Amino acid sequence: MRKFETDVQLIKYEVLKEVSRMAFEGTLQEQYQNIPERIVPGPKPRIRCCIYKERAVTEERVFLAMGGDKDSENVIEVLGSACDECPINRFTITEACRGCLARRCAEACPVNAIYHVGQRAYINPQKCIECGKCKEACPYNAISDVMRPCRRVCPTDALSMDEDKKAVIDHKKCIQCGACVYHCPFGAIMDKSQVVDVIEALKEGNKRSRSSVYAVIAPAISSQFTYVKIGQVVKAIKMLGFQDVIEAALGADLVALHETHEFAEEIGEKGFITSSCCPAFVSYIRMKYPALTEHISTSISPMIAISRLIKDIDPQAKVVFIGPCIGKKMEAKEPGLQGSTDYVITFEELCAMIDARGIKMEDCPEEVLDNASFFGRIFARTGGLTEAIQHVIKEEKLDVVFKPVSCDGIMACDKALKMAKVHKLEGNFIEGMACPGGCIGGPASLHHGPKDRKEVDKYGQYAIEKGIKDSLRIFKTDHINLKREFEKSE
């Protein structure tokens, strides 16, 4: 049976399920105001001070589940009413302080925020700018650093605190990696949802038969619904009203072939190339290392590739990508890519939609899902793209030296990019995955566990088509645009 990692995930699921249920029934606009009371019936609160506080937070969750602020381009938003439980002051002088004569902490402080009373140092929180220089200077390590989890995991310093000590996201710095969403212990940061739009598209398509709605599932699904078989998940998705379920891994096969040829043609001129599958990784390069933008592969992502293939076959199609990634929601709206993938929802949102319809996956018969090769399916984990490229090079007997550097998580990516910037990279291809483990570690995964990588490999082994060209042999793909153009960095 389904288990939730945390109560944060459970409450988010409950909200998404209620929104989905009302959207399917056609009562959402008239009854969405009732959702907070249904989620928090009382009389006792679940975790907060009172039911009224919890209902206020739930109201904000409902707003984002229904699409959030349409005027805001950012996918990730802070729930103001929920962001109030973190420590107010980041740095605190502990009992380990000896009140030493040197007073290096006070000397190091650039804003004179440290003062002494008797044999003890104190920090004036009104002056403290949280630079951390006092902590570095203290010889007793007597200054504790309680950085908020959201700020600690943000790789681009996109999060700050306002005058009320609530988190604020600088949308110009945010790369939509979703690390803050996953790591906030109170669920005070959440991604905007398109479940209502998807449900309306399903209802419209089934009602008038003007267009078919296709579900594209990310290969990371192999590590998600572990209590049922993937064929049962596929059947449940079709029961929601989707015309068909296609593997994003087939798009990964297309991308692997295209990216290998791009590498072979341009590596001599560029020196090294980075992958382009992970939108957060691409955004990170463009934001933190703009001089390296020209080294990013121009291959589109598997999501965009399979969406274009579907629309080439069925021009009236609507495509919904389903995966563990929040960054894909922003990628689908990027200039040059917009219109390829119509909607993006997460595994969390899919789970809520299925349950909202009362579909029991464990009772569903299995549907066949076999669209991709072994190599396309293992794109879901770190190293998968590298293995796919090595496979194409071997199969086509390309005369090229391929020296990959597989980066597991954004910090590993940053280290490789730093080395590349100073021309000390020990390789000529950087495979960048913003999430630890790769896509299987995405922030909107149903669970994160050590067995995930094994599940992906097992899923890959089930593929009938072992080679990339084998999975693509029935499609005419030469005319499909698998290349994207990047805007010039300023």
- Cα–Cα distance between 56 and 489 in angstroms, integer? 42
Shared-domain flag, residues 164 and 207: no
* 61 touches 78 (CB < 8 A): no
**Which CATH number belongs to the domain containing residue 114 in this structure?**
3.30.70.20
Q: What is the mean pLDDT of residues 395-411?
A: 95
Mean pLDDT (the chain, rounded): 92
- Structure tokens that stand for 135 in this block: 């902590």
Residues 6+ apart with CB under 8 A from 424: none
Q: Kindly state whether residue 489 falls inside one of the protein's structural domains.
A: no
Question: Ramachandran region of residue 382, left (φ > 0), alpha (ψ -120 to 50) or beta?
Answer: beta
Shared-domain flag, residues 101 and 156: no
SS3 assignment, position 429: strand
Shared-domain flag, residues 317 and 360: yes
Looking at residue 360, what is its pLDDT?
95
Q: pLDDT digits over 79-111, tens only?
A: 999 998 787 788 999 999 999 999 999 999 999
Q: pLDDT digits over 290-316, tens only?
A: 999 999 999 999 999 999 999 999 999
Q: Kindly state whether residue 66 falls inside one of the protein's structural domains.
A: yes
Looking at residue 416, what is its pLDDT?
97
- Cα–Cα distance between 135 and 452 in angstroms, integer? 38
SS3 assignment, position 345: strand
* 272 touches 263 (CB < 8 A): no
Q: Kindly state whether residue 1 falls inside one of the protein's structural domains.
A: no
* 150 touches 189 (CB < 8 A): yes
Q: pLDDT digits over 421-461, tens only?
A: 999 999 999 999 999 999 999 999 988 766 677 888 888 88
- Cα–Cα distance between 44 and 42 in angstroms, integer? 5
Q: pLDDT digits over 25-73, tens only?
A: 999 999 999 999 999 998 998 888 899 999 999 999 999 999 998 888 8
Q: How confident is the model at residue 489 (pLDDT cuts 50, 70, 90)?
A: very low
Shared-domain flag, residues 204 and 331: yes
Q: Kindly state whether residue 481 falls inside one of the protein's structural domains.
A: no
Shared-domain flag, residues 243 and 319: yes
Q: pLDDT digits over 251-267, tens only?
A: 999 999 999 999 999 99
Lowest mean pLDDT of 1-5, 137-141, 155-159, 333-337, name the range: 1-5
Instruction: Provide the domain limits for residue 47.
Output: 7-83+150-191
* 326 touches 442 (CB < 8 A): yes
- Cα–Cα distance between 430 and 413 in angstroms, integer? 8
Q: In percent, how much of the chain has pLDDT > 90?
A: 78
Cα→Cα distances 227→67, 155, 232, Å: 30, 34, 10
Shared-domain flag, residues 174 and 292: no
- Cα–Cα distance between 70 and 68 in angstroms, integer? 6
Alpha helices in 296-359 (DSSP H): 302-313, 327-331, 347-356
Q: How confident is the model at residue 210 (pLDDT cuts 50, 70, 90)?
A: low
Shared-domain flag, residues 114 and 25: no
